[in-house]
Amino acid sequence: TAFSNADAPTWPAAFAERYRAAGHWRGETFGGVLSERAAAHPDRVAVVDPAGVRREWTYAELDERASRLAAGFAARGISPGDRVVVQLPNVAEFIEVVFALFRVGALPVYALPAHRETEIAYFCSFTEAVAYVVPDRHAGFDHLALASKVKERTPSLEHVFVVGPPGEHTALSDVPCAPGGTGHTPEPHDLAFLQLSGGTTGVPKLIPRTHDDYIYSLRGSNEICGVDGDTRFLVVLPAAHNFPMSSPGWLGALYAGGTVVLCPGPDPATAFPLVERERVTMTGLVPPLALVWTEAGTGTEHDLSSLDLVLVGGAKYSEAAARRLEPALGCRLMQVFGMAEGLVNYTRLDDDHETVVTTQGRPISGDDEVRVVDDADEDVPEGGFGHLLTRGPYTVRGYWRAPEHNAKAFTEDGFYRTGDIVRRTSTGHLIVEGRAKDQINRGGEKVAPEEIENIVLGHPSVHDVSVVGVADAFLGERTLAYVILREGAEALRPAAIKRHVRERGVAAYKIPDLVEFVEAFPQTGIGKVSKKGLRSDAVPGHAAPA
């Protein structure tokens, strides 16, 4: 059955055959993998959730829970191909829920805990989601109230499942029932879930990943990172992000029969005691967090000696910072440059130290096709800068239900236009030099300027706005909104613009860090706002006027 694949372009048959023949796509599914692991080593610990009263689930328990929940979802009418928006923090139920959905053949849509009404309502309505899974509260935010609002706005949404006291909704703990099967077995080439793109447009695009392609990326990542049954992987970043999910991430650790330890917060005060107590061996961090961990690691009272490997990626990691991590944390460093659309590059455990601190790694697979091209899509000479295009066994061929955008974001022969400017070394390692896409990388969190501009434009005093990134020593970049007020409008404070964005209900990391009121934007020859011009105005250390 390919019913669930009809909403997005997939690999042409010749490529699919090639990837199968090469042994990349092995016909596994997530549900099947969990059953196999549970049969092979039922008593090994799969998941540790240390928040509050420490819980641990063995592989047999996780398998049993996922089966019962899958049966419960099916009994409530959740069907193969249905979309379910999952917005959970780093709790064990996150893993239980997604494996249950994998077994049903329903597609988790991975929202982030930081998302608010604007994003969630969009995900639910665009995907015609039938269910939405939330915590009751998280980080001081009332998710029950948000769920009620979203449910009212979204005709397709039949269920809200809550981890915790459910209010007017349904407790997740009331859903499971005797595992009578779901009456359906997903195929390896079916879609498994929809991952969020970093986005360059007014609304985030959804990335359709299949069991076959994603599991291949896990297997490749595990091999490169040395993940095995003894690995204890700490999920520090939000579990829904592609990086902590798959590079090698919690799914990689489970694929290998290792243990996933869920970290309730990313700060060293939370994470270091857990590393010590749970004997964590591996984790993944974005560069600003890696900086914080490096600072805190020097002279820490906590025993971090179990920590063997720290992956850093999601945004450019400076060479100077990279040089300091290993001595401070007493572990090895691996840089990772990946994307939810597919391609993931890692430095290798046997790379020399200079390569590890100065490059962002090389692709997982020999079948990852990487091109570095100029503005006319012509290959640049070896070692030159250019746009990174890629195609391969785990890089999607298009976004979900986005044919017009796909025509721009992919070449005719199926290469994904990453929007990244890279240089390739003689060893095939990539160095990320910059970006051509209209996206701001705020310490690994991606912000699409257009999305924020649309919201700021909704302010009655605003005539026009342009959101750009400005250099920031800690985050790499922060966001700055240049605002032109309507003629005759009363002067505003920057805080008024920020409040307007916050009140529209978006993730806090998208609220402009800086707001500056200007008379006009720099213009290009064709009269369109020049983001480049604005960026070059925005010098390092630039501060917004009071």
> Which residues of the shown chain bind ligand J2J in the complex (CB under 6 A)?
198, 242-243, 246-247, 313-316, 335-340, 344, 360, 418, 420, 432, 435, 441, 446
Residues 6+ apart with CB under 8 A from 124: 85, 132, 150, 153, 154, 156, 157
Taking the CA atoms of the chain, what radius of gyration do you get in angstroms?
23
Provide the minimum distance between the beta carbon of 415 and ligand J2J in the complex, in angstroms, as a whole number: 14
Provide the minimum distance between the beta carbon of 338 and ligand J2J in the complex, in angstroms, as a whole number: 3
Provide the minimum distance between the beta carbon of 384 and ligand J2J in the complex, in angstroms, as a whole number: 18
Give whichever of 70 and 315 is closer to ligand J2J, judged by the CB atom: 315
The single-letter DSSP state of residue 410 is B
Give whichever of 428 and 458 is closer to ligand J2J, judged by the CB atom: 428
Q: Is the dihedral of CA 370, 373, 379, 385 positive or negative?
A: negative
Provide the minimum distance between the beta carbon of 432 and ligand J2J in the complex, in angstroms, as a whole number: 4
Q: Which helix (H) or strand (E) holds 103?
A: helix 92-104
Cβ atoms 410, 394 nearer than 8 A: no
SS3 sequence, 271-284?
HHHHHHHHCCCEEE
Distance between CA atoms of 395 and 403, rounded to whole angstroms? 17
Distance between CA atoms of 150 and 87, rounded to whole angstroms? 13
Give whichever of 91 and 364 is closer to ligand J2J, judged by the CB atom: 364
DSSP string, 149-196: HHHHH-TT--EEEEES--TTSEEGGGS-------S----TTSEEEEEE
Provide the minimum distance between the beta carbon of 425 and ligand J2J in the complex, in angstroms, as a whole number: 15
Cβ atoms 435, 442 nearer than 8 A: no
Cis peptide before 248, with omega less than 30 degrees from 0? yes
Give whichever of 10 and 418 is closer to ligand J2J, judged by the CB atom: 418
Nearest residue to 438 (alpha-carbon basis) of 455, 457, 453, 459: 453
Give whichever of 59 and 193 is closer to ligand J2J, judged by the CB atom: 193
Provide the minimum distance between the beta carbon of 339 and ligand J2J in the complex, in angstroms, as a whole number: 4
Provide the minimum distance between the beta carbon of 407 and ligand J2J in the complex, in angstroms, as a whole number: 19
Residue nearest to ligand J2J (CB): 338
DSSP string, 12-25: -HHHHHHHHHTTS-
Q: Write down how long the chain is.
A: 546
Provide the minimum distance between the beta carbon of 221 and ligand J2J in the complex, in angstroms, as a whole number: 8
Provide the minimum distance between the beta carbon of 83 and ligand J2J in the complex, in angstroms, as a whole number: 20
In a 13 Å sphere around the CA of 458, the CA atoms on its Cβ side amount to: 13
Give whichever of 30 and 243 is closer to ligand J2J, judged by the CB atom: 243
Provide the minimum distance between the beta carbon of 400 and ligand J2J in the complex, in angstroms, as a whole number: 15
Provide the minimum distance between the beta carbon of 225 and ligand J2J in the complex, in angstroms, as a whole number: 11
Give whichever of 162 and 364 is closer to ligand J2J, judged by the CB atom: 364
Give whichever of 113 and 198 is closer to ligand J2J, judged by the CB atom: 198
Distance between CA atoms of 467 and 479, rounded to whole angstroms? 7
The single-letter DSSP state of residue 136 is S
Give whichever of 128 and 319 is closer to ligand J2J, judged by the CB atom: 319
Cβ atoms 266, 236 nearer than 8 A: yes
H helices present in 256-352, as ranges: 268-278, 287-297, 319-329
Distance of CA 497 to the CA centre of its chain: 27
Beta bridge partners, 8, equal none
Distance between CA atoms of 272 and 290, rounded to whole angstroms? 13
Give whichever of 79 and 318 is closer to ligand J2J, judged by the CB atom: 318
Give whichever of 147 and 253 is closer to ligand J2J, judged by the CB atom: 253
Give whichever of 433 and 464 is closer to ligand J2J, judged by the CB atom: 433
Give whichever of 341 and 516 is closer to ligand J2J, judged by the CB atom: 341
Residues 6+ apart with CB under 8 A from 525: none
Provide the minimum distance between the beta carbon of 34 and ligand J2J in the complex, in angstroms, as a whole number: 21
Nearest residue to 49 (alpha-carbon basis) of 95, 2, 97, 117: 95
Provide the minimum distance between the beta carbon of 24 and ligand J2J in the complex, in angstroms, as a whole number: 17
Q: What angle do CA 155, 158, 164 make, to 5 degrees?
A: 130
Structure tokens given for 440: 């701001």
Nearest residue to 193 (alpha-carbon basis) of 149, 129, 252, 145: 129
